[in-house]
Amino acid sequence: MSAPEPGEPSWGRSHALAIDHALAVAYPEAWCELRYSNPYELLVATILSAQCTDARVNQVTPALFARYPDPATLAAADPKELEELIRPTGFFRNKARALVGMARAIAERFAGRVPATMEELTSLPGVGRKTANVILGTAFGIAAGIVVDTHVARLSRRLGLTRQSDPEGIEGDLQELFPPSSWILLAHRLIIHGRRVCTARRPACDSCPLSHLCPRLGVAEATIPPTSAGRRRR
């Protein structure tokens, strides 16, 4: 079976679950690379990670969390002081506004606690569905959806899991293909694989643990026993 052409349906559930298994074997300890100790810190770090590497964010957050240890202190932050602390992450003015707005909303509407539902999280300034999925899955262990960042989007298309281009469309396809029990770790593993092996410009196909499943290399659709590939609902 040849790889689907753009515009054709992606490969099916058996192929997806084979990929899920291969990722689990290759990256059994995969987890978020942002450093945090509570949901508030993860939320701040995730907002800062937009258009910035996790490594750079991790260099900035120790001083930031020491200065603003909770939403109340961040809500009262002096904008200029906050901007200087987060300047190395880029787009620091926009990020500072988003952080202060998020913190004020949490302090005023949620009694200082980061909410744990998609609807409440996405009502916060600077928080979209991707960020909300990060917080729900990583901080609270709630599989409400699948994080779709640039790595997940790129790999999902390369691996024949979707033909969508927008994040919500990709997320919907992935939710159809993978069981909810896989959603949280699937994103972490795809992100690490995208950073270490299946990079945007020069993927290391010769050393890729998913090479036997990759349409890019001309392989046929993977199959697994039917008992493991029942249809999943979102």
Does the active-site annotation cover 149? yes
Q: Kindly indicate whether the domain formed by 39-140 is annotated with CATH number 1.10.10.10.
A: no
| pLDDT tens digits along 34-84 | 999 999 999 999 999 999 999 999 999 999 999 999 999 999 999 999 999
Q: What is the pLDDT of residue 7?
A: 40
Q: What is the pLDDT of residue 12?
A: 87
Q: What is the pLDDT of residue 24?
A: 98
Where the chain has pLDDT below 70, the residues are 1-10, 219-234
From 149, 166, 173, 206, active-site residue: 149
Amino acid occupying residue 67: R
Give the domain 13-29+146-228 fold: Endonuclease Iii, domain 2 (1.10.1670)
Does the active-site annotation cover 130? yes
39-140 shares the fold of 13-29+146-228:
no
Domain boundaries, the chain: 13-29+146-228, 39-140
From 130, 166, 173, 206, active-site residue: 130
Q: What is the pLDDT of residue 221?
A: 53
Helix axes 183-196, 167-177, angle to 10 degrees: 120
String of DSSP letters for the chain:
-PPPPTTSPPP-HHHHHHHHHHHHHH-TT----S--SSHHHHHHHHHHTTTS-HHHHHHHHHHHHHH--SHHHHHT--HHHHHHHHGGGS-HHHHHHHHHHHHHHHHHHSTTS---SHHHHTTSTT--HHHHHHIIIIIH---SS----HHHHHHHHHTTS----SHHHHHHHHHHHS-GGGHHHHHHHHHHHHHHTS-SSS--GGG-TTGGG-GGGTPPPP---GGG------
Q: What is the pLDDT of residue 223?
A: 43
